[in-house]
Amino acid sequence: MIEIGAQVDLSHPPDRVWLALTDRELLGRWFAEAETVAGVPDRLVLHTAELPGFDANVEVEVTERRVPELLAMRCDEAGRLTELTCVVTVTKQGCRLAVREVTTHGSWSAEQHDPREQQLRQALTVRLPAILDWLAFQQVDLRRGEVGMTTELPTIGARGPAGARRRRTVVAVLAGVVLVAGLAAWVTLPTEPDGAAGPPTASSSPSSSSSSSTVAAVAPTGTPRSAPSTRPSRTAASATARPSRTPTAKPSPTLSSVPSAPQPLTASYRTDSSRLFGYTGEVRVDNPAGAPVADWVVVVTLAEGSSVDDVDGADLRRDGETFTFTGPAVPAGGSQTFRFDVRDSRPKAREPEGCTVGGNPCAGL
């Protein structure tokens, strides 16, 4: 008696694993295509002739079935007879599937045994989990009650206490803007003479003469005016005695006084591992600056139909096909690395379409 066996721990319920074992279409996706034998119940033909370790197609007859725990079959491969059992056991994470095949008539050659067992292990540990993941996505109900899916985020109404708080916030912001604008206008106004000096007097220039006549026209009737010679005038000497507000009088900044801009963070992407219907991506964030960076933002854009299942080393926020990762501080000259698992609806997974850190593209894409 020669035996071939393999087992795998799966993060799926037994019912879903049982469906992948007994549904002909699903079985063809992770192991071999199957077709029924006309007129014979519980009998299938598996097209295994082209698989490693198989000589011909296998005719299978179900001998025992306990849903979803046990499936026993009798197999005939060109006269070589075997018994195949599939046992599903519940675990904390999901279930364990153990497959065992024992010869009852004939045997496998040394050249057949190892490739056949390797083919079985690969089907159980690689293709079956991928099909179960795909099946789980098909079974998930993404509806929110009776409303259905929507890409719009919930908004807070303008009425009620929340609306009043928002109106008060808007008024406060507008008042702050007006105050800042008023201060800016006051700073830019020209310097006025002191109140004790009185209105401006005539000067030797023609423009001063016209200004004096204008002031006289608007002065109250009967108000005596002093002679131009007795009023203090703003001569060139007095003007130069006051501090000048021209830009040339202020110390101009030199290149040495301007602080240099901090060096931006850099990031690099690589695919850490690939598998059917997905892969694991890795991003390394480097800080070349001489000071630590408190926080960072990496934005990864995935292909349509892809999603992130698990993240290690960062926090995740999703918006459609855009995934925003944030994480802890990066020390000066140090780095932070995070990984994420991507599930793809296509058998051949597609790498990210884009990756940026602080708006700058990541290396490796």
pLDDT tens per residue across span 79-118: 999 999 999 999 998 999 999 999 999 888 878 888 898 8
pLDDT in tens, 283-339: 999 998 878 888 889 999 998 888 888 899 999 999 888 999 998 889 988 999 999
Phi, psi for residue 280 in degrees, rounded to 5: -115, 120
Instruction: For the chain, give percent helix, strand, coil, nearest 5.
Output: 30, 30, 40
Domain boundary among 139, 168, 199: 139
pLDDT of residue 277: 74
In this structure, is residue 56 part of a structural domain?
yes
Domain boundary among 139, 167, 200: 139
Structural domain containing residue 342: 266-361
In this structure, is residue 222 part of a structural domain?
no
pLDDT level of residue 349 (50, 70, 90 thresholds): low
pLDDT of residue 248: 55
In this structure, is residue 80 part of a structural domain?
yes
pLDDT of residue 252: 54
In this structure, is residue 245 part of a structural domain?
no
Domain boundary among 109, 139, 169: 139
pLDDT level of residue 204 (50, 70, 90 thresholds): very low
In this structure, is residue 145 part of a structural domain?
no
Rounded average pLDDT over 226-254: 50
pLDDT of residue 208: 39
pLDDT level of residue 261 (50, 70, 90 thresholds): low
CA dihedral for 200, 204, 210, 214, sign (positive or negative): positive
- Residue of 140 and 343 predicted with greater confidence: 343
- Residue of 345 and 250 predicted with greater confidence: 345
- Reference 340, options 364, 312, 316; nearest CA is 312
Does the pLDDT of residue 198 top 90, yes or no?
no
- Residue of 279 and 174 predicted with greater confidence: 279
In this structure, is residue 8 part of a structural domain?
yes
pLDDT of residue 357: 92
In this structure, is residue 201 part of a structural domain?
no
Lowest-pLDDT choice from 41-50, 127-136, 271-280, 322-331: 271-280
What's the whole-number average pLDDT of the chain? Answer: 75
Q: Under a CB-based contact definition with an 8 Å cutoff, are residues 99 and 86 in contact?
A: yes
* CATH number, residue 336: 2.60.40.290
pLDDT of residue 187: 46
In this structure, is residue 159 part of a structural domain?
no
* CATH number, residue 45: 3.30.530.20
Cα separation, 360 vs 365, in Å, equals 12
Cα separation, 253 vs 257, in Å, equals 6
How many structural domains compose the chain? 2
- Reference 86, options 10, 161, 196; nearest CA is 10
pLDDT of residue 365: 81
- Reference 339, options 284, 282, 286, 299; nearest CA is 282
Coil vs helix vs strand at 89: strand
pLDDT of residue 112: 85
Rounded average pLDDT over 226-236: 46
